[in-house]
Chain A
């Protein structure tokens, strides 16, 4: 391996101040920027969610015009998916993957810088689109044709933002795969890699396979809008349903892109705090790969109501249910890891166990929605909203919180405030359930999603959901406070603050030095 050469010279003269961040090629700097960017987007998307819940606090139209409400739901989805969740995981990958496999940096350090700096312009396009004539796109985060073919220039800005973020993700993924495949420390075979690295390897392959398909879909939208093509226009011989197929061919693997790294983080945290090695390591790897492969053949379960033949509905129903098997393997392995472990419940573990409870509930509602006849009833109701927030907020976001608390001592060199971390967890999980649990009932009773008003009988549950949402939003400011406090100071963190943690990053001092593993460690 050539991991050792050529790094000595840049100790002396890297830029300081703002230019350090603009020009940096250091994986730790870039990881930090990804995470802060993601947090800024979390607050932005969260603010839009507050706008949604404000309007839904009471029946009737109070604050927004319906078209602005549509813009809120659309932008909330786009910003959270492409701005908050995905960059957060890339941030983790940047920080952790080189340290966990004993590499000095990412494979393509300059491209790494470029992948990050594509994101702020994309985010700017999305946010600024609120202020252009006609406002932001209101076509839903899925940007379904034909509505997305008709809207104003906010739609074009969203399309360009998706293009840019897609390019960023693809470059990031190429970087991650190359790093993992070519730059592991001697002795670190694939099956010795920490599970977080495994999940990211598979996720990166998924990203390379499907982000270009999304880019294709939105390119077709763009040419339909401006260059007289008729991909999705029935009058020109096109078909709007085609858009849904192309989109969900991307969209379903995308939901696993947003959850597999979360599985990876949880698979690092639970063994550390159960003080036992991960149960069933190889089955975890195979389960992750199975989920990734199956994710390519289930996309049409998002579109059971478009009028597909019964044979198609049955195929997609059974294929979807099949995914529950590898996912179940994972959940059982996590539980088996905790079984008879000497567990302690520091904040990362609390978030991981919370993840396990609440994500599993989201998984089960997913199984219910996979049943075609049930889905036809529940399509586009709040039941679906409840389902995907259980897997995306309580799944991905809680795992992100777990990972942040888990690795903050390594990143900052300080222990975070354990009491405040626990308060953050308990407030988050209570407010989360307050917000989204009641949405199951709303959906079962028939309340449609993406509508700014509702019938009187839904008022009580909506009031609860809105209050929960405001609480959840405010709680995340506490998280900001805990993180800033930890960066500024706090108890000095030892190299290995968690007794049961055993991957390579814990052999480095805390905070991790700017350049680590320039001499690769030997893994036995």
Chain B
């Protein structure tokens, strides 16, 4: 191996290692892009500019609640559904109860049906913006304050707002939680 070749080898190896690092650098870069462009920001309050209430129109909002990752919580909305006018400031409440004897932290992720409703849903306050830590047997009522934007397409009469609470950390091994998430059983 002559020294010329060894020099080329070193340069190329540095490139390879740098590109491995670049792969990981994409993670904060991606987060930053999403932040700057406002994409994918489930955990930030929206600002509402137009609060003109369209009383001529009523949208049925169905509320749904789920838990995942073997979260020992009882989680439900206080009302199954509410009727809202586009532009109207609405507050709904969810209730969560920790059934276990230990403190557990969870994070709620919202989803919408139909999916396009998401962009017309302006949340000013939501328990999903932050992690929720519940002490043993604690019961908590949590509000969501939102405005459905009047631009919501006219053919959308019913919107389902669904929250899923995920366990963030805790004693349960994630491997055990995974099998619950759809990993095929060892047969």
A residues near B, CB below 8 A? 2, 67, 107-108, 133-135, 149-152, 170, 173-174, 177-178, 181-183, 208-217, 219-220, 225-226, 228, 231, 234-237, 239, 241-242, 245-246, 249-250, 307-309
Contact yes or no, A231 B27, CB < 8 A = yes
In the complex, chain B residues whose CB is within 8 Å of the CB of A173: 12
Q: Which of B1-48 contact A (CB under 8 A)?
A: 1-2, 4-5, 8-9, 12-13, 15-24, 26-27, 30, 34, 37, 39-40
* The 9 residue pairs across chains A and B that have the minimum distance between CB atoms: A216-B23, A235-B166, A133-B186, A212-B20, A212-B19, A213-B23, A178-B8, A174-B12, A107-B5
- Chain A, Cβ-Cβ closest to B180: A150
In the complex, chain B residues whose CB is within 8 Å of the CB of A219: 23
Contact yes or no, A209 B27, CB < 8 A = no
In the complex, chain A residues whose CB is within 8 Å of the CB of B27: 220, 231, 242, 246
In the complex, chain B residues whose CB is within 8 Å of the CB of A250: 23
Contact yes or no, B39 A309, CB < 8 A = yes
- Give how many A-B residue pairs fall within 8 Å (CB-CB): 117
Which of the candidate stretches B72-80, B92-100, B132-140, B167-175 sits at the interface with the other chain? B167-175
Quick one: given A181-B8, A242-B27, are A210 and B19 in contact (CB under 8 Å)? yes
Contact yes or no, A245 B23, CB < 8 A = no
- Chain A, Cβ-Cβ closest to B37: A309
In the complex, chain B residues whose CB is within 8 Å of the CB of A135: 184
Tell me, in angstroms, the Cα distance from A107 to B7 when the chains sit together.
12
Chain B proximity of A444: nearest CB distance (Å): 25
Contact yes or no, A212 B39, CB < 8 A = no
- Chain A, Cβ-Cβ closest to B42: A234
Chain B proximity of A3: nearest CB distance (Å): 10
Instruction: Return the contact of A177 from the options B8, B22, B23, B175 (Cβ within 8 A).
Output: B8
In the complex, chain A residues whose CB is within 8 Å of the CB of B175: 226
Contact yes or no, A152 B20, CB < 8 A = no
Tell me, in angstroms, the Cα distance from A217 to B39 when the chains sit together.
22
Tell me, in angstroms, the Cα distance from A384 to B80 when the chains sit together.
43
Quick one: given A208-B15, A212-B19, are A178 and B9 in contact (CB under 8 Å)? yes
Tell me, in angstroms, the Cα distance from A182 to B10 when the chains sit together.
14
Quick one: given A134-B184, A150-B178, A215-B23, are A108 and B17 in contact (CB under 8 Å)? no
Quick one: given A178-B5, A213-B23, A239-B30, are A149 and B186 in contact (CB under 8 Å)? no
In the complex, chain A residues whose CB is within 8 Å of the CB of B4: 182
Contact yes or no, B109 A108, CB < 8 A = no
Chain A proximity of B181: nearest CB distance (Å): 5
Q: Which of B120-173 contact A (CB under 8 A)?
A: 166-168
A-B contact pairs, 10 of them (CB 8 A): A107-B9, A134-B185, A150-B178, A150-B181, A174-B9, A213-B22, A215-B20, A216-B23, A220-B23, A235-B166
Helix, strand, loop or mixed for chain B's interface? helix
Tell me, in angstroms, the Cα distance from A216 to B37 when the chains sit together.
25
Instruction: Return the contact of B23 from the options A212, A226, A228 (Cβ within 8 A).
Output: A212
Chain A proximity of B70: nearest CB distance (Å): 12
Quick one: given A134-B186, A215-B23, A245-B30, are A228 and B15 in contact (CB under 8 Å)? no
Quick one: given A212-B20, A216-B20, A216-B24, are A235 and B40 in contact (CB under 8 Å)? no
Chain A proximity of B55: nearest CB distance (Å): 32
Quick one: given A174-B16, A235-B109, A235-B168, are A150 and B182 in contact (CB under 8 Å)? yes
In the complex, chain A residues whose CB is within 8 Å of the CB of B21: 216
Contact yes or no, B187 A133, CB < 8 A = yes
In the complex, chain B residues whose CB is within 8 Å of the CB of A174: 8-9, 12-13, 16
In the complex, chain B residues whose CB is within 8 Å of the CB of A236: 107, 166, 168
In the complex, chain B residues whose CB is within 8 Å of the CB of A177: 8, 12
Contact yes or no, B13 A152, CB < 8 A = no
- Chain A, Cβ-Cβ closest to B17: A212
Instruction: Return the contact of B16 from the options A170, A225, A246, A308 (Cβ within 8 A).
Output: A170
Interface centre among B20, B39, B175 (most CB of A within 10 A): B20
- Chain B, Cβ-Cβ closest to A5: B2
- Chain B, Cβ-Cβ closest to A213: B23
Contact yes or no, B109 A242, CB < 8 A = no
Chain A proximity of B12: nearest CB distance (Å): 5
Tell me, in angstroms, the Cα distance from A178 to B4 when the chains sit together.
9
Chain A proximity of B134: nearest CB distance (Å): 16
Chain B proximity of A130: nearest CB distance (Å): 13
